[in-house]
Structure 1
């Protein structure tokens, strides 16, 4: 009869194989008591005996860091939003003497890119991993955290019951500063163009915008400020004739739609309406820019700090965003 393996214990206990590995090796600080008890019960029932040689080999670091993207970055990586993050990650890992492995083959038939397959954490090949992507699987983040796997996530992610270590662009402060810069040029009547996306990065932008509007005593009657996404023909009519002199848009696509709609109504940007965008732009928009390469470097520093001292508490960090001057903001002028 074949001797039971860790995968058999994991299957019987209903947990990941990495959790089993940690419990049988005595590394239980981050494993919930109930999970630990299930694993120990499964070990006893199956008569599993850890392989000491294999365990010692696993406990040795191999100076290999993982990068897992929740969206595909090939074949157009250079045009991808995440490309500069990857540049910073690669550059810093090389400086610190670590090799990288990019996990790209974890997709499933439903199109989702997963970390766990058949109960196994595929990231275990690496000492720790940087995670990035908008379509983060929060259940998998929680599982990684409860399993005690070392990782850091680029971008804020709120997961109930887990403290996810994140390197976060400071959208709240950046958006606040962008609005303040418009107010400094004399703008008092604003409008906000909102994407139909409900995610932490957008929550933070909206929080920063609202804080600035309230602190500076500005006026905003826009549907976006009330929580309505998109840009309607009716609101374009209002912007063309109303008191608004500045618009803050969450995306370049909304800003482009606004510019086209205003032009059809005989209005121009920035002569009649100044527009700033809350994302970086290759065009000439005044915008909020994310220091993506720097964030990639910081993520590696944070991950390596934990790899080299696994007992250290995971730490999240805010990284300031830049305000980039373009050609879409001017001093306000009275509308005809």
Structure 2
């Protein structure tokens, strides 16, 4: 044996210059709508690559057992109710039941580092289900790419960019929400803003930053903060500069950064929102004495939308994968007011 991986349907499709669904049809004998020349190209590619169809996986896929999978890349138990993903899971469960599908939650890791894997010993564990909803911050992009190239049906909650693959995603619209927060501050009279940036490089944060910057530039606002220039965290030096400067409002990427700012301002004798307004680009819940003005991700709704998108693909696998944006809500709290200075 030469140790090379066995060819897959995606390899046949690439060599033949056709879609993976066309390869699947030819291999399964469903050639009524396949032009003869396309069929021949597929057969030639199959022969050249030595591709052998996975009969068990094909039979399972054609049979359809009305079972949908849910795979989380991080643990959600034993404290699921307090977990970021709990409301997503509620929406997923509700909608799956409404449309007549059962759910299976894939939880085992099979790795020494504790990370949750989809493939184990070269086998896709999700094949038990007709298709799966995937979610998690620590997404394994190599596994996403492999799923896509294998033709497995799935949707991912949250935007994920994977080179060479079109990952179907249900995406909270952070760009528009961040822009709307900036617009609301401008409507109240704030012209000088500052941005507090986390040290995280992920699509969801990139979308927030894109929306914020676009709104600041479009409205002609001023932002001289380190965060706006791409520097993360909140330093004591910048806090002192913020107190002396013209800024009247701050937009923070997280509640953690907003709390750090609140404590730093209190140590300097300043209050929120009397001296400085703060808005947060994530849901905050109700903090005792501090209910932040923030965006809220409609997690339950997104879970339901993810099931609808997945079922649409399961029941019509030839439809191309698409992504959907879902608007975030803006919640008025107690931390934004008109500028006093």
- State the TM bucket, normalised to the shorter chain: 0.7 to 0.9
Alignment partner of 1:321 is 2:321: no
- Structure 1 match to 2:302: 295
Alignment partner of 1:192 is 2:195: yes
Paired with 1:12 and 1:27, the residues of 2 have a C-alpha distance of: 30
Paired with 1:127 and 1:239, the residues of 2 have a C-alpha distance of: 54
RMSD: 2.7
Partner SS, residue 251 of structure 2: strand
* 1:113-147 deviations in Å (ceiling 9; x for gaps): 11011000000000000000011111111100000
- Structure 1 match to 2:236: 233
Alpha carbons of structure 1 residues 38 and 160: separation in structure 2 relative to 1, 3 Å? farther
Partner SS, residue 295 of structure 1: helix
Structure 1 segments unaligned to the other structure (5+ residues): 1-7, 44-48
- Structure 2 match to 1:179: 182
Structure 2 segments unaligned to the other structure (5+ residues): 13-22, 35-41
Shift of residue 298, structure 1, vs aligned partner: 0.3
Paired with 1:81 and 1:280, the residues of 2 have a C-alpha distance of: 10
Q: What TM-score does the superposition give when structure 2 sets the normalisation length?
A: 0.86
Alpha carbons of structure 1 residues 254 and 264: separation in structure 2 relative to 1, 3 Å? same
Alignment partner of 1:332 is 2:332: no
Q: What TM-score does the superposition give when structure 1 sets the normalisation length?
A: 0.87
Shift of residue 13, structure 1, vs aligned partner: 3.5
- Structure 1 match to 2:68: 65
Preserved contact between residue 67 and residue 129 of structure 2 (Cα < 8 Å): yes
- Structure 1 match to 2:274: 271
Paired with 2:109 and 2:164, the residues of 1 have a C-alpha distance of: 25
Shift of residue 41, structure 1, vs aligned partner: 1.8
Q: Which structure 1 residue ranges, 4+ long, deviate > 3 Å from structure 2?
A: 11-29, 36-40, 53-58
Q: How many residues align?
A: 315
Equivalent residues in 2 for 1:58-137, closer than 5 Å: 58-137=61-140
Paired with 2:8 and 2:117, the residues of 1 have a C-alpha distance of: 14
* 1:60-90 deviations in Å (ceiling 9; x for gaps): 0000000000111111111111111001000
* 1:128-172 deviations in Å (ceiling 9; x for gaps): 000000111111111000000000000000111110000000001
